[in-house]
Structure 1
């Protein structure tokens, strides 16, 4: 099932995003997180997304980040989280 991230993943959207992420954890796997619209990120936004992935993996759920924008990929890389999102 595809889940679409918002354009903005920053501190101003963390609360709303986290609510969506909790719902997504209950979806059948694989959970595909479509990041094609992301144009703005900050550490808080990436941390919330990282928490989603860590929680899903701890529950043995198949979760994947797809269509990630360069902006998101750069933020993930700078924070050293590429392994968590399995970005190659």
Structure 2
């Protein structure tokens, strides 16, 4: 499989595949525009993931988010950030 096809499959699986969260929320997390309680958390995952702490997860749980939701939004935000950075790098090489 060509690397571009693998990236397309990864993006589709994470953002459009079956899950507990709505694909719209996962897409918003991937683009960094997640609403409500997710806003700051998604920003942290995308921009300063090394700062995400147990307290962040505890706050999301206190706001009513389940562990599967947190996992899916985290993966979507991380994959979205990675794909954005990859695209920026490829643009720089062109």
**Larger relative helix fraction:** 2
**Larger relative strand fraction:** 1
Q: TM-score by structure 2 length?
A: 0.33
Larger Rg: 2
